[in-house]
Chains A and B, each alone.
Chain A
Amino acid sequence: MFLLAGARAEIKVGGVFPALASVGLVGEVPDTKDKILVVDFWASWCAPCKAAFPALGKINADYAARGVVLVGISVDEKPAAYADFVKKMAPTFLTLHDASQKLVRAVAVPAMPTTYLIGRDGKVRFIHAGYQGESTDRILRTQIDKLLAAN
């Protein structure tokens, strides 16, 4: 019973990722039909999330033309914190705000940040928790390449 009380319905590899358009995200939700989707959950108070921004920007630049959509989703509870952070960091990829934390609760991320790689069928193909610098960058690129090759 105690274990059940603490259990989370965490989305794993193979699970269906919620449709971005249906969870009340603030911002312009991109068209992800027939696209490979990379979703990165971040927050303004999360230092590793901030450190990951330049690498995510480069991934977005390198893969956008190949049918990959990269979206950074903020889980900040305060809209001002989100707006100030985006203004300060000026990310080179699309950011949305999960102001109600509806999506992050549904996904139940294991850590901040966590990056999900979602296939064209809407199923999660790879999950990377945390940001470990070049290692994370290399892993993400390898997994995206693998998914592009499979499609």
Chain B
Amino acid sequence: MRSRLLLTLFVALAAALFSGCSTAVRVQPWERATLTDYTMRPDRDPLAVALAEHTYFSRESATGGRGVGGSGCGCN
């Protein structure tokens, strides 16, 4: 009897805990004003994008950077 009660309590607690993982916080179509703002664009600053791309390419050139796939000498 007691183990059944504990099991019920556990299930109830788990349900309450995992309800936080539900899609209740989904942004609705009419709530996207902030998301469409210019400042939310990752490419809003061309200089920052160029620097980030250069860093990425230099670091990941052994695997082709953003270009071709596969490995290489990493010497470019």
CA distance A2 to B32 in the complex (A): 23
Most buried by A among B24, B28, B30, B36: B30
**Cβ–Cβ contact B30 & A43, under 8 A:** yes
- B3 interface hit (Cβ, 8 Å): no
The interface size bin for chain B is 10 to 19
- Of B14-22, B41-49, B51-59, B61-69, the one contacting chain A is B14-22
In the complex, which residues of chain A have a beta carbon less than 8 angstroms from the beta carbon of B18?
2
B57 to chain A, nearest CB (A): 32
Tier of interface size on chain A: 20 to 34
Closest to A6 in B: B23
Verify B36–A2 contact, CB threshold 8 A. Answer: no
Minimum C-beta distance from A50 to chain B (A): 12
For A5, A8, A101, the residue with the greatest tally of chain B CB atoms inside 10 Å of its CB is: A5
B29 interface residue (CB < 8 Å to A): yes
**Cβ of A101 and Cβ of B30 under 8 Å apart?**
yes
**C-alpha spacing A111/B33, complex, angstroms:** 13
Tell me whether A5 and B29 are in contact in the complex, defined as CB-CB below 8 angstroms, given that A45-B36, A46-B36 are known contacts. Answer: no
Q: Is the CB of A1 within 8 A of B19?
A: yes
* A22-44 Cβ-contact flags toward B at 8 Å (1 or 0): 00000000000000000001010
Q: Give, as a whole number of angstroms, the nearest-CB distance from B47 to chain A.
A: 26
Bound together, the chains give a CA A110 to CA B28 distance in angstroms of 8
**Contact status B32-A110, CB under 8 Å:** no
Chain A contacts of B29 at CB under 8 A? 109-112, 114
- What B residues does A5 contact at CB under 8 A? 19, 22-24
**Pick from B15, B28, B37: contact of A45, CB under 8 Å:** B37
Given contacts A46-B36, A105-B30, 20 further A-B contacts (CB under 8 A): A1-B19, A2-B19, A2-B21, A5-B24, A6-B23, A8-B28, A41-B30, A43-B33, A45-B32, A45-B37, A78-B33, A101-B30, A104-B30, A109-B29, A109-B30, A110-B29, A111-B29, A112-B30, A112-B32, A114-B29
